[in-house]
Structure 1
Amino acid sequence: MNKLLKILGILATVGIILVILAGVVVTKTGSGDGCGPNWPLCHGQLFPSEPTFETVVEYTHRLVTGIAGITIFIFTILTAVVYRKHKEVLLVAAAAIFFLLLQSVLGALAVVYGQSSAVMALHFGFSLLSYATLYVLLCYVFHLGKRDRLPSARFSPAVKYGALFLFVFSYIVVYLGAFVTHTGSSMGCQGWPLCNGQLIPADLSGQTGVQYLHRVAAFGLLLAFSWFMYLVRRNWRHNRLLFNSTVAMFWLLVAQIVTGAIVIFSGLDLYATILHAFFITLMFGFLTYVVLYVFRRA
């Protein structure tokens, strides 16, 4: 059974990543209305006739979401049943189902009724939480398949609350990034790392202010991660799980920042935008796992 769960878990985790990236493509290409104000049907049809480019993009996103959703549901329920004696597994499984349903409902409501940029930014944030809980659940399956217990250790308050701070801070940065996209503020600052040729632009109103706030928050997050990696490297290098996860998170964040700069220099290139979302998605999964790990009782 554990082998089956591993296969399902990998498929579910890859599936939710594809859902997130497909959503990025929908937003980037302006295909949110590609199926009209209809859900789950597309222009009132199961298979749209004479589809436009926008229709194909939106319909593909829905198809991938549906297939991934079924896989996620099966994997999550089976994992919860097989490892029901582990309360943490049940909690994460419930969270995975909750965030999957929440982001799906928000997406459907956005199609039928339309939503503000602030709400659509939350849609991306909940999708990220859906991925993170699935990734954690997949890690649990691999751990429990070997030793029938989850790894644990005693950590200092600095590590525990430092990881929790990074989790909250990262989510804020992710939300601001999604808000930048949904408000069309990606080019609110010309150039990088300066904004319109200035360290602090004279006019911080409108799209410039939104983009600049996201950049400042991202830089602050990089500093926070640098401090956390220094702390772990100095005092917890012997804990390979924590150390390797921290190093991976740091470099994924660096890659995300670099691709963000490429997005600006390339004039919002689609592939750079996809990579920008991909790296932050992977990083957030690692971070969610680390938070649960450091707070687990030894």
Structure 2
Amino acid sequence: MTLKLAGWTVASHLLFGNICFAFIVSFALRARNLTSPGPLFNQRTRLLIPAFALTLLTLVLGGYTSGSGASYHCPGWPLCPDTFPGMQIQSTLKAINFSHRIAAGSATIVTLWALFKLWRRQSLHRGLIIALGLLFLVEVTLGAAAALTFVPVPLSGLHTLTAALIVGFFAAALTPAAPQSAVPVEAA
């Protein structure tokens, strides 16, 4: 980070900024009636909420990794050097970086599993499933490239932008249809 912000500052800004973005996406979809019908808690959302929660955790840990300078303390991928066996963490920065990778791996596995289940059940638009799955694969590739090239700023920015797109697509997948009023809008 060029501004030398504390890790928790970067993490909290990323989290709350992306949550605001998710609300904006959700409100825009509801206003345009571009949502899928059904209640908020259904089979689709029960699969996606754990994946979304893990994604937000990954986002927070990624922000903390970047803000704390831990990005530079784990130059390999997918594991840090000296990770297993006998992992010798000489500083907490290596553990912070590795925790982001564990969360990212978990979020990717849970999300791809949920998308596979939704694909088979045909309970979510196929284009949305494909886009979210591809975005996760792009995000993992960008994360690996960032780790192997010591996080150049443009690559780090693209990694953060892709994470925001993932949050937006999750918001689209989780947004229920707006309740229909008894009186048409034109008559009111």
Normalised by the size of structure 1, how large is the TM-score? Answer: 0.54
Kindly provide the amino acid, as one letter, of the partner of residue 22 in structure 2.
A
How far, CA to CA, are the matches of 2:179 and 2:47 in structure 1? Answer: 17
Kindly provide the amino acid, as one letter, of the partner of residue 207 in structure 1.
L
How far, CA to CA, are the matches of 1:232 and 1:297 in structure 2? Answer: 24
* Partner residue, 2:76: 191
- Conserved? CA contact 1:245–1:290, under 8 Å: yes
- Conserved? CA contact 1:189–1:211, under 8 Å: yes
Aligned residues: 179
User: Map of 1:243-262 to 2, 5 A cutoff?
Assistant: 243-262=126-145
Kindly provide the amino acid, as one letter, of the partner of residue 163 in structure 1.
L
Q: Which has the higher contact order (CA 8 A, sep 6+)?
A: 2
How far, CA to CA, are the matches of 2:80 and 2:109 in structure 1? Answer: 19
- Structure 2 counterpart of 1:228, from 114, 124, 139: 114
Query: Which structure shows the higher helix fraction?
Result: 1
Matched-pair identity in %: 18
Name stretches of at least 5 consecutive residues in structure 1 with no aligned partner.
1-27, 33-114, 145-149
| Pair 1:177-2:62 in alignment | yes
Judged with a 3 Å threshold, the aligned counterparts in structure 2 of structure 1 residues 256 and 167 are, in CA distance, closer, same or farther, namely same
Q: Deviations over 1:220-240 (max 9, x none)?
A: 11110121011011111xx56
Q: RMSD value over aligned CA atoms?
A: 2.6
How far, CA to CA, are the matches of 2:82 and 2:130 in structure 1? Answer: 33
Normalised by the size of structure 2, how large is the TM-score? Answer: 0.82
Name stretches of at least 5 consecutive residues in structure 2 with no aligned partner.
181-188
Judged with a 3 Å threshold, the aligned counterparts in structure 2 of structure 1 residues 155 and 222 are, in CA distance, closer, same or farther, namely same
* Partner residue, 1:31: 3
Moved segments of 4+, more than 3 Å: 153-158, 197-201, 295-298
Judged with a 3 Å threshold, the aligned counterparts in structure 2 of structure 1 residues 218 and 240 are, in CA distance, closer, same or farther, namely closer
How far, CA to CA, are the matches of 2:147 and 2:42 in structure 1? Answer: 39
